Amino acid sequence: MRYWDDIRVGDRYAVGQHTFSAAEIKAFAGRFDPQLFHLDESAAGRSHFGALCASGWHTAVVWMRLMVEYHRREDEALRARGDAVAMLGPSPGVRDLKWLKPVYVGDTISYVTEVTATRSSNSRPGWGLLTMLSTGVNQRRETAISFVSTTFVARRPASP
């Protein structure tokens, strides 16, 4: 992670992409969202979805994993250049999480995150806040998920 001070509105991250298999859709749903249209092909076929599809929460948390992996690669690149790595802090939350299209078996979702606002933190000295718009688009170029998240990022330490 770069320091908050080095991040600008409009910075865009190609976070990564993920193809949802039937097995992992069912595994996630069995654990966290055991509704029949996420668990069973024939029940899903009779539902409003028309076929087995992923829990919306599943589509969201795959973004989280890809984002953490993205920052890991970025941190490695920063270290390789001899640059300092900033700490990623807690997230106060997410707003406007929209499940716009079902994610069906075999769909590949490409996640992109864009910085839409930055501000320094009053409550936590040494930290800044980022606001980011994230979208997940399927292979038919339909946006399946979008949401706005905020997160704390460490500020560059003052020079001694």
Return the residue of 85, 94, 112, 133 that touches a copy of itself, per CB under 8 A: 94
Question: Of the two residues 64 and 115, which places its CB atom closer to a copy of itself in the complex?
Answer: 64
Is residue 102 close enough to count as binding a copy of itself by CB under 8 A? yes
- Shortest distance (Å) from residue 74 CB to a copy of itself: 14
What's the sign of the alpha-carbon dihedral 35, 41, 46, 48? positive
Contacts of 10 (CB under 8 A, 6+ apart): 114, 115
Is residue 33 close enough to count as binding a copy of itself by CB under 8 A? yes
Between strands 143-154 and 127-137, the pairing is: antiparallel
102 closest CA partner among 65, 132, 58, 62: 58
Phi, psi of 94 (to 5 degrees): -135, 140
Q: Are 3 and 153 in contact (CB under 8 A)?
A: yes
Return the residue of 17, 91, 108, 131 that touches a copy of itself, per CB under 8 A: 91
Question: Of the two residues 10 and 24, which places its CB atom closer to a copy of itself in the complex?
Answer: 24
Provide the mask over 135-154, with x wherever binding to a copy of itself is found by CB under 8 A and - wherever it is not.
-----------------x--
Contact set with a copy of itself (CB under 8 A): 31-35, 48-49, 55-57, 60-62, 64-65, 68-69, 88-99, 102, 152
